[in-house]
Amino acid sequence: MRPVKVGLLGLGTVGTGVVRIVEGNQADLSSQVGSPIVIEKIVVKNTDKVRSIPISPEKLTEDPWEVIKNPEIDVIVEVMGGIDQTKAYILAALEHGKHVVTANKDLMALYGSEIIAKAQEHQCDVFYEASVAGGIPIIRTLIEGFSSDRITRIMGIVNGTTNYILTKMSQEGASYESVLKEAQQLGYAESDPTSDVEGLDAARKMAILGTLGFRSHVELKDVSVEGITGISSEDIAFAKRLGYEMKLLGIAEMQDDAFTVSVQPTMVSQNHPLAAVNGVFNAVYVHGEAVGETMFYGAGAGEMPTATSVVADLVAVVRNMKLGVNGSKAMLPYKPKRLMSDELVFCKNFILLHVDDKAGVLAKITQVFAEFDVSLASVVQQPNEHNPDAEIIIVTHAASKASVQQVLEHFESLEVIRKIKSVYRVVG
């Protein structure tokens, strides 16, 4: 039985987990696929670096081409990250007839269609299960498990780093900076954590989920994005007091073949299952016309959960090799793309205003909501602890994004409003 030979690009957090699983579970893996799986060569940036697992030095190289062009290698597992250079490596690997497994959502969100088209041209597989929600097999679930249904809504806590930060801030009163450092030390954050905290990582994942779920090409530029850097501990405390948890939530919705996708800090009702998703855990809630509500939960980042998905893809590749088939079709656009207009996107909102503490202010404010047809679920006015202003805390009923935008623009010029302190979407 000829062993299946793997070229591993990257031996950081995820790559180390891949080696541990392939070596640790070798007997079980080879009995599943009918031949041993061998990690033949590993590409790293610096071969002199001290590694956390024993690796024989002759396996390591700093030259990706040595692996990509090696005719002995059957599968490239890319867990090094990066976009342009990595894309070139993956396209070249496919041209050399190698199957590809990647955890790289940055690359798949931007160039997934091109990479999959290249794979089809060369009858190769490209699998990318680990690129969204680490250890949760959500990609396979959307492609295979829901192939019979029409998905109308996907809501996801899909970034482990920000969920870890928000949970620690909410439950332990920890500071943003110290928890971000912890998330980096634990291997959850990207090499540049800006993409985590500014919501870009979640947006890339939501673009992938939207594309697969709606069978339409959701591009990164279609996703409206806001990260967690503007959230204060005061906002988190307000959320808790009102019965919500603050989460960075991606929402993708499909209505009459038009979609909308956004990532933004969201107050999730404590009664909603997504509110209980804490720490590095992720969850993806999928609503299908026929199936109704479903939710998938598990670790969203970290060495072993992510490596589990990578190695599962590797097993799928080897099974396909044995069967002489390949199956990378899922990222191609199926339907012409149509975006939902802001008039049709509805949600509840939390709005915190700092206002003059005098008679008639509340009436002026509620009049603006009425003018733009935004109905209010609750309004509370209270003195501000730190200055002479009053605070008005408003929760709206579901209102169109366009109407709420008009209300906020109007507030900018209303003289009784000192500051629009915070605005958050509300779910549940």
Among the candidate windows 138-146, 187-195, 226-234, 317-325, which touches ligand LTNE7NMQ by CB under 6 A? 187-195
Q: Are 225 and 200 in contact (CB under 8 A)?
A: yes
Angstrom distance (rounded) from CA 235 to CA 204: 26
Smallest gap from Cβ 208 to ligand LTNE7NMQ, in A, equals 11
Task: Give me 313's structure tokens.
Answer: 């893809």
Smallest gap from Cβ 102 to ligand NDP, in A, equals 7
Angstrom distance (rounded) from CA 65 to CA 8: 12
Residue 76 per-residue DSSP state? E
Query: 161 contacts which partner out of ligand LTNE7NMQ, ligand NDP, none, CB within 5 to 8 A by kind?
Result: ligand LTNE7NMQ
Smallest gap from Cβ 303 to ligand LTNE7NMQ, in A, equals 11
Angstrom distance (rounded) from CA 308 to CA 25: 11
With 0-12 CB in 10 A as exposed, 13-18 as middle and 19+ as buried, what is 221? exposed
Query: 45 contacts which partner out of ligand NDP, ligand LTNE7NMQ, none, CB within 5 to 8 A by kind?
Result: ligand NDP
Q: Which of 74, 78, 129, 201 binds ligand LTNE7NMQ (CB under 6 A)?
A: 201
DSSP reduced 3-state for 54: coil
Smallest gap from Cβ 51 to ligand NDP, in A, equals 8
Angstrom distance (rounded) from CA 13 to CA 88: 22
Sites of contact with ligand NDP (CB under 6 A): 10-15, 43-46, 49, 79-82, 103-104, 130, 134, 187-188, 190-191, 301-302, 306
Q: Which of 188, 259, 285, 297 binds ligand LTNE7NMQ (CB under 6 A)?
A: 188
Based on the shown chain and the rule CB under 6 A, indicate whether residue 235 belongs to the binding site for ligand LTNE7NMQ: no
What are the residue numbers of the active site?
205
Angstrom distance (rounded) from CA 223 to CA 295: 22
Among the candidate windows 144-152, 183-191, 337-345, 352-360, which touches ligand LTNE7NMQ by CB under 6 A? 183-191
Q: Which of 125, 190, 253, 391 binds ligand LTNE7NMQ (CB under 6 A)?
A: 190
How many CB atoms within 10 Å of residue 150?
Answer: 14
Among the candidate windows 1-9, 117-125, 184-192, 350-358, which touches ligand LTNE7NMQ by CB under 6 A? 184-192
Query: 196 contacts which partner out of ligand LTNE7NMQ, ligand NDP, none, CB within 5 to 8 A by kind?
Result: ligand LTNE7NMQ
Choice between 160 and 227, CB closer to ligand LTNE7NMQ: 160
Q: Which of 86, 104, 159, 400 binds ligand LTNE7NMQ (CB under 6 A)?
A: 159
How many CB atoms within 10 Å of residue 54?
Answer: 7
Residues contacting residue 110 through CB under 8 Å, at least 6 positions apart? 83, 204, 220
Q: Are 249 and 292 in contact (CB under 8 A)?
A: no
Q: Which of 17, 137, 160, 298 binds ligand LTNE7NMQ (CB under 6 A)?
A: 160
Query: 159 contacts which partner out of ligand LTNE7NMQ, ligand NDP, none, CB within 5 to 8 A by kind?
Result: ligand LTNE7NMQ
Q: Are 250 and 262 in contact (CB under 8 A)?
A: yes
Among the candidate windows 111-119, 143-151, 157-165, 353-361, which touches ligand LTNE7NMQ by CB under 6 A? 157-165
Smallest gap from Cβ 252 to ligand LTNE7NMQ, in A, equals 17
Residue 3 per-residue DSSP state? P
Choice between 7 and 250, CB closer to ligand LTNE7NMQ: 250
Smallest gap from Cβ 114 to ligand NDP, in A, equals 17
Name which of residues 274 to 333 contact ligand LTNE7NMQ (CB under 6 A): 300-301
With tokens 């409206």, the residue in question is 224
* 117-141 exposure pattern, b = at least 16 Cβ within 10 A, e = fewer: bbbbeeebbbbbbbbbbbbbbbbbb
For residue 405, which amino acid is it? Q
* Helix residue ranges, H only, 130-232: 138-140, 160-172, 176-185, 194-197, 200-214
Smallest gap from Cβ 319 to ligand LTNE7NMQ, in A, equals 25
Among candidate residues 425, 428, 361, 411, the one with its CA nearest the CA of residue 390: 361
Q: Are 38 and 6 in contact (CB under 8 A)?
A: yes
- Contact residues toward ligand LTNE7NMQ (CB under 6 A) are 134, 159-161, 188-190, 196, 201, 300-301
